[in-house]
Amino acid sequence: MSGSGTQLGFLLTGTYVSSGHGSASGAGEVVYTDGSTSSFTLNAPDWHGGCSAGEAGVALYTAYRNYSGGKSALDVCIYEASVPLTAGKAIDYVVLPDVSNGAAADVPAMHVFAVAAG
């Protein structure tokens, strides 16, 4: 990723494999073209079971999910989060949080769908 701006925005959500829900958080890093870095922490709220349309931080909401058995009534959300960037510096790349080591039972996972600077 390259770019610059005042904020780095993320679309994300958190899950747990066995229970299907749970929040996740972890540390990441922005590396600038001059070699300097800035660290950040991302918090990804639970993808379902308590989110609602209009809730602060909710970027996408639906009242159901599709699955192999059809459709079920279940509030599902994708969230927005942002972290500040160092003014006047150009981004070389972003290191995302290393939240889970594979799909293991009762291990939190963070799903990042998009990243943008602005």
State how far the alpha carbon of 82 is from the alpha carbons of 15, 43, 78, in Å.
19, 10, 14
Q: Tell me, what's the pLDDT at 10?
A: 96
User: What predicted TM-score, i.e. pTM, was given to this entire model?
Assistant: 0.84
Q: Per residue, what are the HEC states of the chain?
A: CCECCCEEEEEEEEEECCCCCCCEEEEEEEEECCCCEEEEEEEECECECCCCCCCCCEEEEEEEEEECCEEEEEEEEEEEEEEECCCCCCEEEEECCCCCCCCCCCCEEEEEEEEEEC
User: Does residue 95 register a pLDDT over 70?
Assistant: yes
How do residues 62-93 score in pLDDT, each as one tens digit? 888 888 889 988 888 899 999 999 999 999 99
Query: Any idea where the domains of the chain sit in the sequence?
Result: 7-117
The better pLDDT of the pair 107, 97 is held by 97
